[in-house]
Amino acid sequence: MAVNFVYPEYEAVRNPDRCIACRACERQCANGAHEYLADADKMVCDDAKCVNCHRCVALCPTRALKIVRSGNTYKENFNWNAKTVDELYKQAGSGGVLLSGMGNPCDYPVYFDKILLNASQVTNPSIDPLREPMETRVFLGAKPQTVERDENGRLKNNLPPQLSLSMPVMFSAMSYGSLSYNAHESLARAAEEMGVLYNTGEGGLHENFYRYGANTIVQVASGRFGVHPHYLNSGAAIEIKMGQGAKPGIGGHLPGTKIVGDISRTRMIPEGSDAISPAPHHDIYSIEDLRQLVYSLKEASGFKKPVIVKIAAVHNVAAIASGIARSGADIIAIDGFRGGTGAAPTRMRDHVGIPIELALAGVDKRLRDEGIRDSVSIVVGGSIRSSADIVKAIALGADCAYIGTGALLALGCHLCRTCYAGKCNWGIATQIPELVKRLNPDLGHKRLVNLLTAWRHEIKEMMGGMGINSIESLKGNRLMLRGVGLNEKELGILGIKHAGE
Amino acid sequence: MRREGDVRIPSGCAISGFINKSGGRLSGETIIKSIAVMRDRSNGLGGGFAAYGIYPEYKDCYALHMFYDSPAAKKECEDFLERHFDIVNLSKIPTRKIKEITDEPLIWRYFVTPLPTKLADSQLDEREFTAKCVFRINTRIGGAYVFSGGKNMGVFKAVGFPEDVGRFYKLEEYEGWCFTAHGRYPTNTPGWWGGAHPFALLDYSVVHNGEISSYDANRRAIEMYGYKCTLQTDTEVITYIIDYLHRKKGLTLREISSVIAAPFWQTIAKMPPEERETHEYLRVAFSAQLITGPFSILVGFEGGLMALNDRLKLRSMVVGEKGEMVYIASEEAAIRAIEPDLDAVWAPKGGQPVIVRLNGGEEAWR
């Protein structure tokens, strides 16, 4: 047998005084990490198989289990750190591209954590959302360019198509296929209950979910999986996926093992075939091509639905967004470099793209400088982790936030980052029926509703503290932000002052 | 010390105003008496007045009121004015020396009409041409500042208590059908007279009490339409929003009230269908012009006066009526001081506009 160069990074520690050898952990682990030794009447664990998803930890009735860093270390080296060395060993062993799940975990700056919010003191009153109305409803879409009246002088409703949301949050695109049926059902039902929207991702829309159409964004990606006229007309909006923050410049890849049953039918591709989205849309090699697709989709949907163009936050994002705003798009979605994914080449995920905070600030400023900020709404994701991130994003200039990873966490995801393996013990990123049924949509959607309800209340509290009683007065209100520990250049790009100024 | 405009200064305030609905003209003495009652609401760091109907002899000319820091700035500005306008008359604005008002800049007044050739070349209407010239002077000519530029109206303002500012400008010598007044309580020294209020653009003038929490959202939105917020004050951005919605977008004042002090969604939901649709439209189309946080404003305009509170009514504002006169002030005492025997006194609700027009005219839509 070949020597395995890589020692497990984490190990499952079992407290023998607590373990009752009930074998729950063994049953829960799809990776086969836990094993019962009948002769010795005890449980053992192969740490090499453990992905650190905490399913066994959460389900252990006696709290006998915990996962800790194994602590095995190479000779210390800041240049050749353990991660770098392990990755190299893996590639030398396999000859393959490294694959990762979920968003970029590397130690790059998180600008949201270096921005602080304002509150009213003395000169104007803070507002208590429990006593006064506090509005979080947002509309996404272009503003009318002119005011028109009928012969009686009444204002004509010349608004372009709008999305109405009870709060500035939507569930971002995660396809059926990468996610389980139950995960999708949870998202769709939560979106409906909260008056927000979820996004089909690029895998089409399962026939059972057409009933949630009013709360659905249908996505059109480069693979065009599951796209047909009925699909385009069944949602509240259509999103063209040009890029994704986790893997800018490449398309999605769903392995054939996940293309089973309903997923094959929904995507309109044969069972077992890999669903490989091309890196670009092959009918969009330039900005004028994008305009044609935007208008094709508008034609196909009777000009009744806003069209969203989603791009990854890359270096030239401001100019790209400006081009998109002039291409007939109603909404631009920008996905930061920390955005999640079911599977991405590790190098792309960890080294391509820019932080969403900087991308957002740059795009908002550019669109205002060009006088076209009214032509589009801006939605940001990748990554929005809390209500505070949302408030900061809106004050920087966003209209709304997309949450993906956060929503999966609410469903039980523990960020083990091995979605691509298809053996998600939480029933989220898997198509194995026994695993899928672990996620009960009744409970899953309720947890999502809880999360958004809590965040909405927190958003109201923060707005009230600032003396703002409607979310539109927060949008782009950068005086409500101050930076801490940021340099002049960073403050300049964010368009905010430093704390104390 | 940095001048106001380089730094944003919050302030509390007193406001008062009145209008004679039939256009009868009253002396400026009256408004001084009214605002003086609310001395505690000012701190001596800013006071001012807007007066309508005071220049009937030049009613077709734009009356530019100017502050100059130096004779050089005056020269440069006058050169600019001569290139763009026919200057019908010019003079110093009459003032009286009083010990309470010091450090005055050079204060001049020009009655002008746009040069027809320049106007035609610009492809703008007369008002837009004039507004653009005002912005040009205020942003490009250092040391020159237009603080009033409407027809048959004028703003008079300074650093000091408002009653002293009124005496300084000999306001008793002017007669108008509408006056507004402002006493300011800034947290910082403004550093120059431009920071005092009213703030005016063309014939729109605004006095405002409050500190709006939506300021930077409003500022960044309005600057996209070519306005420059050089003073960083609430009053400035409110004036620009009103000018944008009224003059450029053609909304009525009532519609503007529904934009800047919009009814809550829960209120809109209960409206009859037509009304609901209008309010929804205004909120969605002009969401960036919603103003939150406390404000009470008096908006003077060609042909009338409007008063408006923020939608939660976080600032006091009272209306008094007597015959042809309508009085509006932060405190009832300021009204009683000039008209003790009122027919009616009432407090408008948050977001409920009070629009008073000369000769009872109704505003037509354009």
Q: Tell me, yes or no, whether A3 lies in a domain.
A: no
pLDDT at A353: 97
Selected residue of A121, A147, A150 to mutate for chain B interface (largest B Cβ count, 10 A): A147
A90, A143: one domain: no
Average pLDDT over residues A443-462: 98
Per-residue confidence at B6, pLDDT binned at 50, 70, 90? Answer: confident
Is A157 at the interface with chain B, CB within 8 A?
A: yes
- For residue B62, pLDDT over 80 is answered with yes
Hey, is the C-beta of B163 within 8 angstroms of any chain A C-beta?
Answer: no
Residue B80 falls within a domain, yes or no?
A: no
Q: What is the 3-state secondary structure (H, E, C) of B175-214?
A: EECEEEEEEEEECCCCCCHHHCCCEEECCEEEEEEECCCC
Instruction: Tell whether B10 lies on the interface with A, counting CB pairs under 8 A.
Output: yes
Residue in chain A lying closest to B216 (CA): A477
Measured between beta carbons, the chain A residues lying within 8 angstroms of B292 are 467-470, 473
Which of B214, B234, B295 is most worth mutating to test chain A (most A CB atoms within 10 A of its CB)? Answer: B214
Residues 19-78 on B with a CB inside 8 Å of A are: none
Measured in angstroms, the CA of A99 and the nearest CA of chain B are apart by 42
Query: What pLDDT, in 10s, does the model give residues B343-353?
Result: 999 999 999 99
pLDDT tens readout for residues B161-186:
999 999 999 999 999 999 999 999 88
DSSP assignment of A348-397 equals: HHHHSS--HHHHHHHHHHHHHHTT-GGG-EEEEES---SHHHHHHHHHHT
Residue B336: pLDDT over 90: yes
Residues 113-142 of A with CB under 8 A from B: 120, 123-125, 127, 132-133, 135, 137, 139
Is residue B250's pLDDT more than 50? yes
Q: Over 80: is that where the pLDDT of B99 sits?
A: yes
Q: Which two tokens stand for residue A365?
A: 């400023």
| A479 contact B CB<8A | yes
- Give the pLDDT of residue B366: 42
B59, part of any domain: no
Q: Which residues of B242-259 are buried (b: 16+ CB within 10 A; e: fewer)?
A: bbbbbbebebbbebbbbb
Q: Which amino acid is at B150?
A: G
Contact list, A481 vs chain B (CB under 8 Å): none
Alpha-carbon dihedral angle through residues A322, A325, A331, A333, given to the nearest 10 degrees: -30
> Which residues have CB under 8 Å from A60's CB, separation 6+?
A24, A25
Determine phi and psi for A89, rounding to 5 degrees: -60, -45
CB atoms within 10 A of CB B274: 9
What the block records as the tokens of B86 is 């026919």
> What is the average per-residue pLDDT within B148-160?
96
Per-residue pLDDT at A1 exceeds 80: no
Note whether residue A306 is domain-resident.
yes
Choose the closest CB to A123 out of B211, B282, B365.
B211
**Closest to A336 in 3D by CA, of A243, A420, A448:** A243
Count of the separate structural domains present in chain A: 2
Interface check for B130 against chain A (CB to CB < 8 A): the answer is no
Residue B77 above 50 pLDDT? Answer: yes
A206 Cβ partners below 8 Å, 6+ apart?
A: A176, A181, A184, A262, A266
Q: Is B13 on the interface with A (CB under 8 A)?
A: no
**Residue B249 belongs to some domain of the structure:** no
Q: Does A460 touch chain B (CB under 8 A)?
A: no
CATH code at A258?
3.20.20.70
Q: Does the pLDDT at position A128 exceed 50?
A: yes
Lookup: tokens for A273: 């075939």
In a domain, A147, yes or no: yes
Cβ of B214 within 8 Å of Cβ of A468? The answer is: yes
The predicted-structure confidence for A241-250, as pLDDT tens digits, reads as follows 999 999 999 9
The minimum CA-CA distance between B14 and chain A, rounded to whole Å, is 14
Domain that holds residue B298: 11-54+152-209+292-359
CB contact under 8 A, B211 and A124: yes
In a domain, A132, yes or no: no
A86, part of any domain? yes
Assess whether pLDDT exceeds 90 at residue B112.
yes
Which chain A residue's Cα is nearest to B314? A125
3-state secondary structure of A117: strand
- Nearest CA distance, B180 vs chain A (angstrom): 23
Q: Which residues between 283 and 322 in chain A have a beta carbon less than 8 angstroms from any beta carbon of chain B? A: none
**Distance, in angstroms, between B287 CA and closest chain A CA?**
6
- Residue A93's CB is within 10 A of a number of other CB atoms, namely 13
Residue of A nearest to B214 (CA): A473
B117, part of any domain: no
Q: What is the CA radius of gyration of chain B?
A: 19
Please tell me whether residues A76 and A165 are part of one structural domain: no
On the question of pLDDT at B364 being above 70, the answer is: no
pLDDT confidence band for B363 (50 / 70 / 90):
low
Share of chain B above pLDDT 70, in %: 98
By mean pLDDT, which of A66-75, A316-325, B10-19 is the weakest? B10-19
Picking from A451, A425, A449, the residue whose alpha carbon sits closest to that of residue A438 is A425
Contacts of B255 in chain A (CB under 8 A): 155
pLDDT in tens, A106-126: 999 999 999 999 999 988 899
Q: What band does B361 get if pLDDT is binned at 50, 70 and 90?
A: low
Closest chain A residue to B249 measured between Cα atoms?
A: A147
Q: State how many domains chain B has.
A: 1
What residue of B is the nearest CA neighbor of A160?
Answer: B285
Instruction: Catalytic residue, from B13, B61, B178, B229: name it.
Output: B13
Q: Inform me whether the C-beta atom of residue B365 falls under 8 Å from chain A C-beta atoms.
A: yes
> Which residues in chain B are contacts of A479 at CB distance < 8 A?
8, 215-216
Residues A87 and A149 in one domain: no
CA distance B200 to B50: 9
Do residue A306 and residue A440 come from a single domain? yes
Binned at pLDDT 50, 70 and 90, residue B17 comes out as very high
Q: What pTM, to 2 d.p., does this model score?
A: 0.95
Partners of A475 on chain B (C-beta within 8 Å) are 217, 287-288
Give B282 to chain A, closest Cα distance, Å: 9
**Among chain A residues, CA nearest to B250:** A147
Chain B, residues 253-282, CB within 8 A of chain A, namely 255, 262, 264-266, 274, 277-278, 281-282
Q: How far apart are CA B137 and CA B80, in angstroms?
A: 8
In this complex, the residue of B213, B265, B286 whose CB is nearest that of residue A466 is: B213
Q: For the residues A41-46, what does the mean pLDDT come to?
A: 94
Q: Please report whether residue B326 resides in a domain.
A: yes
CATH number of the domain within which B156 lies:
3.60.20.10
Task: Indicate if A314 and A209 belong to the same structural domain.
Answer: yes
Residue A130 lies in a domain: no
In this prediction, residue A2 carries a pLDDT of 66
Query: What residues are paired with A232 via a beta bridge?
Result: none
Instruction: Say whether B284 and A120 touch across the interface (CB within 8 A).
Output: no
Question: Which among B277, B282, B293 has CB closest to A468?
Answer: B293
Rounded distance between C-alpha atoms, residue A277 and residue A14, angstroms: 43
Chain B contact for A348, CB < 8 A?
A: no
Point out the residue among B187, B218, B265 whose CB comes nearest to the CB of A123.
B187
Residue of chain B with shortest Cα separation from A118: B213
Which of A217-231, A287-301, B4-18, B32-46 bottoms out in mean pLDDT, i.e. has the lowest?
A: B4-18
Average pLDDT, chain A: 95
Mean pLDDT of B299-317: 94
Instruction: Give the model's pLDDT for residue A75.
Output: 94
Q: Does B344 touch chain A (CB under 8 A)?
A: no
- Distance between start and end Cα atoms, chain B: 46
Question: Which of B284, B286, B312 is closest, CB to CB, to A469?
Answer: B312
Cα–Cα dist A190/B268, whole Å: 26
- Which chain B residues are Cβ-neighbours of A467 within 8 angstroms? 211, 213, 292-294
Instruction: Evaluate whether residue B161 is within a structural domain.
Output: yes
Percent of chain B with pLDDT over 90: 88
Q: Is A163 on the interface with B (CB under 8 A)?
A: no
End-to-end CA, chain A = 64
A125, A135, A153: residue with CB nearest B314? A125
A500 reaches B (C-beta below 8 A): no
- Radius of gyration of chain A measured on its C-alpha atoms: 24
Least confidently predicted of A21-25, A355-359, B187-191, B283-287: B187-191
CATH at residue A58? 3.30.70.20
In a domain, A322, yes or no: yes
The two structure tokens encoding residue A165? 């949301």
Question: In this model, does residue B127 exceed pLDDT 50?
Answer: yes
Residue A454, domain member (yes or no): yes
Q: Do A164 and A79 sit in the same domain of this protein?
A: no
pLDDT of res. B245: 97
Distance from CA of B278 to the nearest CA of A (A): 7
Nearest residue on chain B to A476, alpha-carbon basis: B217
CB within 8 Å: A144 and B223: no
CB distance A319 to A338 below 8 Å: no
Please state the separation of Cα B325 from the chain's center in Å.
20
Whether B292 contacts chain A with CB within 8 A: yes
Please list every residue in chain B whose beta carbon sits closer than 8 Å to the beta carbon of residue A120: 213
Q: Which domain holds residue A42?
A: 10-96
Please report the pLDDT score of residue B329 as a whole number: 97
Is-catalytic flag, B13?
A: yes
Contact between A136 and A325 (Cβ < 8 Å):
no
- A255 interfaces chain B, CB cutoff of 8 Å: no
